[in-house]
Amino acid sequence: MGFAIDRLDHLVLTVADIDATVEFYTSALNMEAITSGDRRALHFREQKINLHQAGKEFEPKAANPTPGSGDLCFITTAPLESVISSLKTGAYAIEEGPVERTGAVGKMLSIYLRDPDGNLVEISNYL
Instruction: Give the residue numbers marked as catalytic.
Output: 122
The DSSP string of 56-74 is SPPSS--SS--TT--EEEE
What's the rounded Cα separation, in Å, for the pair 117 and 120? 9
| CB 87 within 8 Å of CB 97 | no
CA proximity to 51, closest of 9, 7, 21, 26: 21
